[in-house]
Structure 1
Amino acid sequence: MQDQPEDVPAQPQAQTSSQPGSTPQPAPAPAPAPAPQPQVQPQPLPHPRPEPAPGPNPGPAPTSTYGAPPGYPPAQQYAYGQPVGFPPPSGGKGTAGRAVLWAAVGAVAASVLWAGGILVLGRVGDNPDLAGYRTKANLCSAVDYTALRTEYTQEDNLPTHNALKHKAIDQSYCSISLKTSTSSSYADAYLSVEMDLHKTTDPAAEFTAVWSEYDQRYEDYEVEEVSGFGDEAYLVTEDTTSGSGTSGSRAVTLAVRDGWMTYQMSWSTYSSSYETTTPPEISEVSRWVKTDTRSTLENLRSD
């Protein structure tokens, strides 16, 4: 008996009828053998990208045959981090040229800032223009008020004075009580003089702003720019007396700037301070203050 292949199914045997006289049935045709299926060969998997060795300074990203892995930093690196103020590095032709251009721009900017710093710092060492004036420990000894003595005949034997000396500014101040006669129980008017020597800052801008706009403070003040006194001078006056001159006050101030020296001579009075007479007119006192300022400034410059 011939052996049957294992992969071929067994053929059914023809059945014969056991009954007599029956017509024999033909045997069914054998089923065709199934076609052999092609064998699928497994494809090799891609090799995984090796991880960089651990350490404080990992090397560059390994080359991969499947393209550059995502997430890696750009190829150009800076030893001390990204330069401040410079554009981020970009690959391609011309990168080196742009780097040289930005370096040149940075050098020019640094030179400008350095030069500007030298110019600014140079102003700190400017010599103050004191116009020959000197401060005095007792400013009252240099104050000449001869013109005012026309009205106020009594001399103040105990005037008040003080002084301040500093590397930035020297100041001298004097206050004098004015009396019309020996019968006056109290001062009829007051005279104050102040001189400042600015040794580190030019006072021109502030002086002009304060004295040229002095009438902004009160409606009763009037400001007049006068000539013949230093670089600039302003006469500030106030008169709130009534028609009879028995109430209110009057004041005159002459402010002078000569170089970095500033000076003020101020006269003021209340009508109630005069017991038997009325205060002198503003115009008259202004002439006295101008005269006494000119002689006092000469005393402060020559001493």
Structure 2
Amino acid sequence: MATPPQAGHGYGNHPTAPPQGPPFQQYATAGHHPPGSPTGGSAAGGSAAGGSAAVGASASGGDSGERRGDGRRALRRAAGWGFTGALLASVVWTAVVLTVPGMVSVPTAPQGLHGYHTVDDLCRAARLVRFTQLYPQPDATPSHHTDLDPALDSMSCILSLERNTGDSGDSGDTEYASLYAQVKLHKAVNAGLEFDAEKAGMQQQRYEITDVPGLGEEAYIAFRDGVSGSDGAWHSVSQELQIRDGGMTYYLSWSGSYQDGKSTAPDRETIRQSLLADSRDLLKELGGP
């Protein structure tokens, strides 16, 4: 059952393993060095006797100094080549950015509002003819809100619906549902990025997505029948219509429920057609085509 968006929505946080120490951490104690380091060596070469030993030590020291000198020169050459390679890579990457910006960036500029404008009361603008025919007892005091900002205008409307499905008129034959509508006018950024991300998120939540051609620049209906209860007999059903037209994004969600063996499932196609018809009327009220 779809409800108004709540803060903190996400897809799960998974703890990562604590960072490990450097690979040569075992050599961090005083007097210990990794094999092959300039200060490392064989423990067996530390003792000698007589003049021959002294001569050997001197010769060994000379060889060691030459090797250290060669090593430093090799390091300087490697550093020089590394700097040159990094400079060349930077030049090539800059050329790519200047000549093919689409390879490294996505469009973020606003797309225009296509004539849509804000209203003080979205519930009043939404006549909802089809849904009030399905549910003749709409909410007498729906909740609405409008926020205005130089970057983003946002309008919302929440109302409950009910209808009597039996002849007896008792409460046991009453069917309840709810509607939530939201319209955003994006004036500072590309609304398509957010729209695509929301669609991908609904797919991850296992909504059944059906594209709707001919409505705005892109539109789709998301459907889900969630099962709950120990016996899996309780169903929370939602159908949601999402539309983007330029910098305008629109959302209308219907939510209902039923219980196996005690009530019938709402007709999916009837709800779908109501979403489409009432949304077209509402968008015209907001200045759309």
- TM-score band, normalised by shorter chain: 0.5 to 0.7
CA distance in 2, matches of 1:301, 1:223: 27
Indicate whether 1:193 and 2:181 are aligned. yes
Q: Paired residue for 1:248, among 235, 241, 244?
A: 235
Count matched residues: 182
Partner SS state of residue 137, structure 1: coil
Structure 2: runs of 5+ lacking an equivalent = 1-90, 102-106
Q: Does 2:276 correspond to 1:290?
A: yes
- Cα distance in 1 for residues equivalent to 2:257 and 2:142: 20
Which of 245, 256, 259 is matched with 1:269 structurally? 256
Q: 1:209 aligns with which of 186, 189, 197?
A: 197
Q: 1:184 to 1:147 in 2, by over 3 A?
A: farther
1:210, distance to aligned residue in structure 2 (A): 1.7
Deviation at 1:211, TM superposition (A): 1.5
Compute the RMSD of aligned alpha carbons: 3.5
> Given that residues 236 and 255 in structure 2 are in contact (C-alpha distance below 8 angstroms), is that contact kept between their aligned partners in structure 1?
yes
Q: What residue in structure 1 maps to residue 150 of structure 2?
A: 167
Q: 2:131 aligns with which of 133, 139, 148?
A: 148
Distance 1:180 1:131, change over 3 A: same
For residues 127 and 250 of structure 1, the distance between their equivalents in structure 2, rounded to whole angstroms, comes to: 35
1:136 corresponds to 2:108: no
Alignment of 1:55-204 (within 5 A): 128-181=111-164, 188-204=176-192
SS in structure 2 at match of 1:141:
helix
Name the aligned partner's letter for residue 189 of structure 1: A
TM-score (normalised: structure 2): 0.55
Displacement over 4 Å in runs of 4+: 124-128, 182-187
Give 1:226 deviation, angstroms. Answer: 0.9
CA contact (8 A) 2:111 2:191 kept: no
TM-score (norm 1): 0.52
Residue 257 of structure 1: CA displacement?
0.2
How far, CA to CA, are the matches of 1:210 and 1:125 in structure 2? 17
Deviations along 1:251-281, whole A, 9 cap, x unmatched? 0000000000000000001225x9x853422
Give deviations 1:84-136, integer Å, cap 9, x for gaps: xxxxxxxxxxxxxxxxxxxxxxxxx9xx99xx7xx9xxxx9966500101111
Residues 173-217 of structure 1: CA distance to partner in whole angstroms, max 9, x if unpaired?
A: 000110114865987000010000001001112212321551212
In structure 2, how many angstroms separate the alpha carbons of the residues matched to 1:207 and 1:125?
13
Q: Quick one: higher RCO (CA 8 Å, sep 6+), 1 or 2?
A: 2
More helix by share: 2
CA contact (8 A) 2:209 2:221 kept: yes
Asked which structure has the greater CA Rg, the reply is 1
